[in-house]
Chains A and B, each alone.
Chain A
Amino acid sequence: MKQPPLTTPSKIDVPIAECHSAANGTKIYAIDCPEYEVVRLSFVFHAGTITQHHPFTASATANMLAEGTAALTSQQVAERLDYYGSYFDINIDRDYSYITFCSLSKFFMQTAEVIEQVILHPTFPTEEVATYAAKRKQQLAIERRKVETIAREKFANAIFGKNHPYGVSYSEVDYDALSRENIAEHYNRCYTAENCIVVCSGNINPEVLARIESIASELHSASNTQTISLPEFETIHDVRHQHDGAVQSSIRMGRLLFPRTHEDFIPMQVLSTVLGGYFGSRLMQNLREQHGYTYGAFCAMVNFQHTGYLALATQVGTEVTENALQQIALEIERLQNDKVSEQELALVKNIMAGEMMRILDGPFGIADVTTENILCGFDNSHIQYNLERIRSTTPEELRDLAQRYLAAEDLVKVVVGDFS
């Protein structure tokens, strides 16, 4: 039968987050979706790995908030959350830590008792630190048996410099030195009112909001504001790392660019989507569909607070590693020499619009996008701007960007595999 007609959305409706200030100045952004009987509450602290003074303290602090508090043992925290069917997630990146709680609306008040303890009164008991460190040390050792983990770490080392806070990786042995004192120091310095934004979504009625405000207003103030001075980046361009017995090589390529606030960020997102951002992308067509070198290949723009980069990644059969590298180089050259067809570009634009619609369908995704916008200094009207900026990208612009930003000599190339 014939293909049905298509509609392309020109607009995405997103509620603007209502901004409230707690008594101590902490900003609370609320997205009220009363049709969902759930509450999702995130505390975002400027407490990512670049803010740590000792290896692994930033992630340990975030991950151990619930491992014992002034009023509750770690077991009691876990018991109470489980009893009400509530849960929390911890995420940490280079810049921020994200502590997110979810509960059914009918159990929010009971859950809030626990949230208050976890966010405001963690104690980081010494024996819990020891358990945590032993566990993580072993996990990291296992992760580092994987070529993709090694490649990810080597890539960060190469692109930012191996001692740069954005690029550094630590030996798993450093977990042995993880101490309660260092974690507590990190908490006191970074988990402050000045360093925090709160984002909530779901059924945010006035009682729920008041309860959230009461928690946020108790965040302590920093004795002095922290300033982070980042050293210069020291990029190296070519890294090969031998991993005995690997049946696949992990390849990572990319380059340092700019954060999401830069005017070229969105068009570079379009370009990276053309190259490796979807199932039918150039890299997938070439490496997977035409050659069968790989199960998957990806490319994306990655945003940090102070910079951003483009990265592509794939794992290919050991015996075809050199061919794959050659094909990747050819695909990048194609972007520099030939304009993307209008048809392919239209496809990529619709994929990106569809992706935005999917993320924004429901209160949890809206909250995530809102958080990302706030951290970049935007409000949710920026979503419409992004959509229009994607739509206005032209084939000429993409070719010019590929020439300007993806020159072979500027790219960082990391390969981890068995070269013997």
Chain B
Amino acid sequence: MITYKKTTLSNGLSVIANRDKTSRMAAVNILYKVGARNENPTRTGLAHLFEHLMFRGTHEVPDFDTPIQMACGENNAFTNNDYTDFYITLPIANIETALWLESDRMTGLDLSEEACKIEKRVVIEEFRQRYLNQPYGDANMLLRALAYKQHPYRWATIGLTPEHIEQASLEEIHNFYRTFYHPSNAILSFSGDMAEEEFFALAEKWFGGIDDHKHDIPQISAEPTQNEARRQIVERDVPATTITIAFKMGNRLSRDFFLGDITSDILAGGDSARLYEHLIKNKRLFASVNAYITGDVDCGLFIFTGQLLPTTSEEEAEQAFWSEIADLQQSNISAYELEKVKNKFEANTLFGELNVMNKAMNLGYYEMIGDLSLINREVEIYRSLSADDIADFATRVFRQENSSTLIYRARR
């Protein structure tokens, strides 16, 4: 249970605070409601490039990192398909340093030609290091393109190709900043040992004077219903073949999100879960196996994936997933098994609440998805799900015509 209070400044900035009396650190999180989903298909990777540029300094503070570090703080950021998140932890005595810097770069960024040029090169190296120079590095990109045809989830946060990043113009970058970086498109959240109202007063002090300038955010293309089984086979120089099957499922606020999540726990939540026990331990078909949901804001994916042992054929491996699915559809879930995944979910929720950074980040996230109170209701929702609910979910979602299968074949 995370206690919190929320307020909204007159410029539209949402502010949420949690008081944690056990910590001597403060966590400050600022989330911008912009991700790869907001990109133009001809200029992908821009949201992530922009996250990098947010560290390039402002007219007021040319070097973002130094003041944070002088304050014994640490900061970082990430971008995904739905949002961009910046976070700072530092001793609570220095909290105003964090607010000063975040309020300053919300509008004051110094976006020079030179800064953009260097940052593009860094991001292109990141593209190479994480996606091109890694075994299976492009698997996720291939899967997205297979599963989504219209929705911007069809590309990964890094973008469709390094050329998109390379060719982004300074004007496009400025437009992006104006459109997405302003108070009413942001959420400021905090956890630390300070009264909530006191934090609100500091938020007002540092952010209250920033004018909001709302821009029309372009509509996102909806993904049409999938009506055919999709399949792609690629051959790469990797030691082992992997098979991935993705199914489209509901959005983050739908009941199917929770059903998908609990189903993935039954299949792959811990070493006693089904896929590990059945497919690795008993049948020895795979070296590793997993089932998870992407958990995106819009319609997400439920993913089965496994890396085959050399003795396993592709047909056997694929069939093994489908027979696990058939099992779920027949509602073969014992009360004990269901209780186990619910307990585990509850414990993990509690472990996650030990740390101020997690709490500040989660407060921002739940506000972003549009239901802050959900942060404390999820355990209860999990508790309410039954074996029949899961069977029904598995029947509706795990259908051939709703599947995208990627065979990532090891070249012999």
Contact = CB atoms under 8 A, between A and B. Distances in A.
Partners in one complex: yes
Interface of A: 1, 3-4, 6-9, 35-38, 66, 74-75, 78-79, 81-87, 102-104, 107, 131, 134-135, 138-139, 141-142, 145-147, 245-248, 278-280, 288-290, 292-295, 315-317, 346-347, 350-351, 353-355, 357-358, 361-362, 364
B44 interface: no
A142 B125 contact: no
Contacts of A38: 350-351, 354
A354 B281 contact: no
Interface in B94-138: 94, 96-97, 100, 103-104, 118, 120-122, 125-126, 128-130, 132-135
A353 B22 contact: no
23 contacts: A4-B94, A4-B97, A8-B72, A36-B22, A38-B350, A78-B277, A83-B340, A85-B345, A107-B347, A131-B280, A134-B309, A138-B239, A142-B238, A146-B133, A246-B133, A280-B63, A280-B69, A288-B122, A290-B118, A295-B130, A346-B70, A351-B69, A362-B23
B287 interface: yes
A135 B279 CA distance: 12
Contacts of A74: 271, 281
B406 to A, nearest CB: 17
B125 A361 contact: no
A152 to B, nearest CB: 15
Contacts of A246: 133
B12 interface: no
Main secondary structure of the interface of B (DSSP, over half): helix
A77 B206 CA distance: 52
Contacts of B310: 138
Contact of A139 (B61, B122, B287): B287
A139 B25 CA distance: 38
Nearest to A37: B350
Main secondary structure of the interface of A (DSSP, over half): mixed
B373 interface: no
B69 A347 contact: yes
Q: Which of A74, A141, A278, A358 has the most CB of B within 10 A?
A: A358
B175 interface: no
Interface in B329-355: 336, 339-341, 343-348, 350-351, 354-355
B74 interface: yes
B91 interface: yes
B71 interface: yes
Contact of A354 (B72, B309, B341): B72
A83 B346 CA distance: 11
A292 B287 contact: no
A361 B69 contact: no
Contacts of B134: 146
Contacts of A139: 287-288
A35 B272 contact: no
Contact of B23 (A66, A289, A361): A361
B100 A4 contact: yes
A278 B72 CA distance: 12
* Interface size band for B: 35 or more
Contacts of A86: 347
B362 interface: no
Contacts of B239: 138, 141-142, 145
A131 B351 contact: no
B217 interface: no
B73 interface: yes
B273 A82 contact: yes
In the complex, the 10 A-B pairs of residues with the closest C-beta atoms, listed nearest first: A85-B347, A292-B121, A354-B72, A78-B272, A4-B96, A78-B271, A7-B93, A82-B270, A79-B272, A295-B126
A124 B168 CA distance: 57
B144 interface: no
Contacts of B96: 4
Contacts of A85: 343-348, 350
Contacts of A288: 122
Contacts of A141: 239-240
A4 B24 CA distance: 19
Contacts of A6: 70-71, 94, 97
B284 interface: yes
B404 interface: no
A79 B103 CA distance: 48
Nearest to B271: A78
Contact of A362 (B307, B346, B354): B354
B272 A293 contact: no
B269 interface: yes
Given A135-B288, A354-B90, A82 B128 contact: no
A82 B272 contact: yes
A317 B126 CA distance: 10
Nearest to A7: B93
A180 B310 CA distance: 23
Contacts of B389: none
A267 B97 CA distance: 28
A59 B287 CA distance: 17
A138 B239 CA distance: 7
Contact of B74 (A37, A75, A354): A354
B354 A142 contact: no
A146 B23 CA distance: 39
Nearest to B356: A361
B66 interface: yes
B133 A147 contact: yes
A145 B135 contact: yes
Nearest to B205: A1
Nearest to B273: A82
B351 A75 contact: no
A134 B284 contact: yes
Contact of A104 (B71, B120, B133, B347): B347
A37 B276 CA distance: 30
Contacts of B344: 82-83, 85
B189 to A, nearest CB: 18
A13 to B, nearest CB: 8
Given A36-B354, A75-B281, A317 B125 contact: yes
Contacts of A294: 122, 125
Interface in B117-166: 118, 120-122, 125-126, 128-130, 132-135
Given A131-B281, A361-B25, A7 B94 contact: yes
Nearest to B286: A135
A108 B97 CA distance: 41
A1 B106 CA distance: 13
A3 B99 CA distance: 10
A85 B339 CA distance: 11
A353 B89 CA distance: 13
Contacts of A317: 125, 128
B43 to A, nearest CB: 20
A146 B136 CA distance: 11
B350 A292 contact: no
B370 interface: no
Contacts of B240: 138, 141-142
A357 B65 contact: no
B243 to A, nearest CB: 15
B102 to A, nearest CB: 12
B62 interface: no
A247 B125 CA distance: 10
Given A82-B273, A361-B23, A247 B128 contact: yes
B270 A78 contact: yes
A361 B24 contact: yes
